[in-house]
Amino acid sequence: MAELKYEIVEHIGVLSESNKGWRKELNLVSWNGRDPKYDLRDWAPDHEKMGKGVTLSKEELTQLKLLL
């Protein structure tokens, strides 16, 4: 499996935190050098490990906001 590279370009906010310190965060993340997308997922305190999540374009995030 190829190495996954990521850069958190902008930390937007934290939705929740577990008692083990993992936080559900909304960030702007560049995956494998691509243009950044909005990303919602669980992160370990050091951002070295992550859970499954969802990435959204700006248009998809805007649509999600309208739906909510």
Q: What is the pLDDT of residues 14-40, one digit of tens each?
A: 999 999 999 999 999 999 999 999 999
**What is the reported pLDDT for 33?**
95
50-56: strand order across its sheet:
6-17, 23-31, 37-43, 50-56
- Options 3.40.50.720, 2.60.40.10, 2.40.160.10, 2.30.31.70; CATH of 6-67: 2.30.31.70
Q: How far apart are CA 51 and CA 42, in angstroms?
A: 5
Contacts of 31 (CB under 8 A, 6+ apart): 4, 5, 6, 37, 55
How sure is the predictor about 2, in pLDDT bands with cuts at 50, 70 and 90? confident
Residues 33-63 have pLDDT tens digits of: 999 999 999 999 999 999 999 999 999 999 9
**What is the reported pLDDT for 1?**
66
Supply the DSSP symbol for 20. Answer: T
Does the pLDDT at position 8 exceed 90? yes
